[in-house]
Amino acid sequence: MVTESFLPTLNGVTTSVCRVAQSLRTLGHEALIIAPGPAPASFEGFRVRGLPSISVRQFPTGVPTPALRRTLEEFAPDVIHAASPFVLGARALQLADRTGTPAVAIYQTDMPSYIQQHGPGRLGTGAANAAWRWIRRMHAHADLTLAPSRPTLDELRAQGVPRTDLWARGVDTSLFSPRWRTNPGTAELRRALAPSGEVLLGYVGRLAPEKELWRLTEVAQIPGTRLVIVGDGPHRAQIGAQLTEAVASMPGRPNRTPIFLGRQSGDDLARAYAAFDVFVHTGTRETFGQTLQEAAAFGLPVVAPARGGPLDLVDHGRTGLLFDPDHRGSLHDHVDALVGDREWRTRMGSTAEAAVRGRSWDCLTEQLVGHYESAREGRALRAA
């Protein structure tokens, strides 16, 4: 498994690699993880090979030194799994093609959209087009490229990426569970966050420009609510100032100031999710949206944009609500409707929890192993 991100960095790519590794161990397979350093020496009993890295926007980005080739040769894998390939993964896919090793690329990060967002006008468009050219060239070395959602799969095919298929993501229902709603620690956290019985509107994720957190200013002024933000990132100070100003300027009695809990994991993250009443997601460039599944596993109604990965994860009106990101006020109206109807929130949350109950990582990893076999068969056919 060659990944662009791994522990101690926490994000969707790291989570996916860790959960797949755990399930591969359970299923009796052997794996080697190659990742940007610094990285732990092992994970779940599998060796981790950390490669030199440079920091790009606070992310360690691996450098594909000759050690990558040597490590792959020593391990002699049946399949190379490239997690969100762009630099390390791109080189691994090239080496796989050169040596005839079957390779599966997991498309997870919408890099062209991120690049376009950070570049002005034609410069951003040109850079995004260049990113797509790189993605097509890179994924041409893979025997199979897996997309996490149908909208993303459609985009890859429209962009000319060959040999694509669908593989979603699992959710750890042993940790992310409604049982945390009655946990004493959760009750204590709720009392601290909502001392006057406020409806808690929660967000979990990286605090970065591509997450479009400025959209939360629309819901910051809904009376009787409080925003709770879990996560960290380069946009922390800016979004904090924006949301605090939005609350302070609301007419009448202002809501309590939005609170930032920072990065959370394990039981602390579970208690934070369980303390929420409504989960709000703002980013329109998600290829999937793992936190939406996690929120649903706690029995939370989810409000997310009607674009990208959320289209696969939110059944509008049943498990959550999809707002129109092109219409200002749509997010406010959808969240406001849920805030005012506790029974609807409860009913919708129960339906959401039931919908994700069968999406365990073991089940999804079994599907992934099936894709590995398909890649091996495809490689053999092309070699013949």
pLDDT tens per residue, the chain (384 residues)?
A: 999 999 999 888 999 999 999 999 999 999 999 999 999 999 999 999 999 999 887 789 999 999 999 999 999 999 999 999 999 999 999 999 999 999 999 999 888 887 777 676 777 888 889 999 999 999 999 999 999 999 999 999 999 999 999 999 999 988 999 999 999 999 999 999 999 999 999 999 999 998 999 999 999 999 999 999 999 999 999 999 999 999 999 998 999 999 999 999 999 999 999 999 999 999 999 999 999 999 999 999 999 999 999 999 999 999 999 999 999 999 999 999 999 999 999 999 999 999 999 899 999 999 999 999 999 999 999 888
- The domain in which residue 8 lies consists of 2-170+360-383
Helices (H), 194-300: 236-248, 266-275, 290-297
What's residue 25's pLDDT?
97
Residues 286 and 239 placed together within one structural domain of the fold: yes
User: What is the end-to-end Cα distance of the chain in Å, rounded?
Assistant: 26
State CA 32 to chain mean position distance: 23
What's residue 236's pLDDT?
96
Query: Packing angle between helix 266-275 and helix 184-193, nearest 10 degrees?
Result: 60
Q: Give the CA radius of gyration of the chain.
A: 21
Backbone angles phi, psi at 9, to 5 degrees: -70, 130
Residues 278 and 264 placed together within one structural domain of the fold: yes
The CA distance from 110 to 91, in Å, is 19
Output the domain CATH number for residue 321.
3.40.50.2000
Tokens of 257: 């100031």
pLDDT, tens digit (0-9, with 9 covering 90-100), for 135-164: 999 999 999 999 999 999 999 999 999 999
DSSP state letter for 120:
-
Residues 351 and 365 placed together within one structural domain of the fold: no
Q: Which residues pair with 47 in a beta bridge?
A: 32, 42
Residues 226 and 93 placed together within one structural domain of the fold: no
Residue 84 buriedness (CB in 10 A; 0-12 / 13-18 / 19+): buried
Residue 135 buriedness (CB in 10 A; 0-12 / 13-18 / 19+): buried
Residues 352 and 373 placed together within one structural domain of the fold: no
Residues 278 and 329 placed together within one structural domain of the fold: yes
Residues 237 and 335 placed together within one structural domain of the fold: yes
The CA distance from 287 to 109, in Å, is 7
Residues 115 and 240 placed together within one structural domain of the fold: no
DSSP track, 27-58:
TT---EEEEESS--SEETTEEEEEE-EEEETT
Tokens of 46: 């599998």
What's residue 374's pLDDT?
97
Residues 10 and 136 placed together within one structural domain of the fold: yes
Q: How many domains does the chain have?
A: 2
CA atoms within 13 A on the CB side of 108: 25
The CA distance from 56 to 7, in Å, is 16
**Of 157, 100, 102, 150, residue with least CA distance to 132:** 157
Q: How many CB atoms lie within 10 A of CB 266?
A: 8
Residues 128 and 199 placed together within one structural domain of the fold: no
Residues 202 and 284 placed together within one structural domain of the fold: yes
Residues 271 and 283 placed together within one structural domain of the fold: yes
Neighbouring residues of 163: CB distance < 8 A, sequence distance ≥ 6? 142, 143, 144, 145, 378
